[in-house]
Amino acid sequence: MTSIFIWCFLFFWLCFAFICEYREQKNAYISAIPKENDTIYASLRKLRYLMTYEVRVIKWRRSLLAAFISTILIYLIVWNKIPNTRELILHIILLTSVYSYTWDTFSSRTAKEASSLADKNINKIKKNIS
């Protein structure tokens, strides 16, 4: 009984993560589409929005999806079996932690620095325009 509950709980969170990622990716850049009547300030605001996208991404959802797929593939390809509930949960927790840490570290080292430099350049452009 506990096993069924855990599989259902995991299935719920996987569906939730997938649906949220699909919806967000579909509309990720829609507010940054340039329009004919955009002012320079509106274009700069849209540019900043695009530059900070990677920082704003919710990484645990992607990590959970990647961990589930990795776990299933590892068990099917390497060990030729479907993981039991305990193995599945342990591997997903471990891989989600690793993936999440990796994505957060990558984001903080590259995307945050890039968006910070973009902010400085945008502020300089605004200052030069004024």
Percent of the chain with pLDDT over 90: 36
How high is the pLDDT of residue 79?
A: 92
- Which residue ranges make up each domain of the chain? 2-129
The lowest-confidence range among 7-11, 111-115, 124-128 is: 111-115
pLDDT at 54: 80
**In the predicted model, what is the mean pLDDT of residues 4-33?**
86
pLDDT surpasses 90 at 68: yes
Give the count of beta carbons closer than 10 Å to the beta carbon of residue 67: 22
pTM reported for the whole predicted model: 0.75
30 or 95, greater pLDDT = 95
- Under a CB-based contact definition with an 8 Å cutoff, are residues 128 and 44 in contact? no
Which residues are CB-contacts of 104 (< 8 A; sequence separation ≥ 6)? 59
Q: Are 58 and 49 in contact (CB under 8 A)?
A: no
Is the confidence at residue 15, as pLDDT, over 90?
A: yes
Task: State residue 83 phi and psi, 5-degree precision.
Answer: -65, 145
Q: Across residues 12-16, what is the average pLDDT? A: 92
